[in-house]
Amino acid sequence: MSDGLVRACAACGAKNRVPARHLAHEGRCGRCKAALPPVGEPLDVDPATFEAVVRGAEVPVLVDFWAAWCGPCRVAAPGVKKVAHDLAGKAIVLKVDTERHPSLAARYDVRGIPNFVVLRGGRVASQRAGLMPPDELRRFVETAT
């Protein structure tokens, strides 16, 4: 991930490498020059991608710590997706599978899931465990200081 995240152009299908620091910006496809909108969906990340996004983000980063076996996490997923869409360009949403990446969960002292962390400038601005409706989750991101 050090050189970016690969995103497909909706217009021509070309694969474009977008640096982590530009995920919240609108860009242009390298092939057809069509607009590449800011990331508007949750990104399932590994530790290297997590580090690159958090280090490079110029907007808040909402991290959803979850696991496939967790019923409340599955209930939260559509709301997390909605928040990612609603806050495209204003925030980046990451998903961290606590089963696959327990070191990241431990780093943020995640003891119950779903667990939501808002990072600003690489630092924890707010953290909360438990389900939140999409509107509340959006406010959680927007008001984290």
12 is catalytic: no
CA–CA separation, 54 vs 28, rounded Å? Answer: 23
CA–CA separation, 145 vs 133, rounded Å? Answer: 20
73 is catalytic: yes
DSSP for 73-85, written as a single string = HHHHHHHHHHHHH
Write out the catalytic residue numbers. Answer: 70, 73
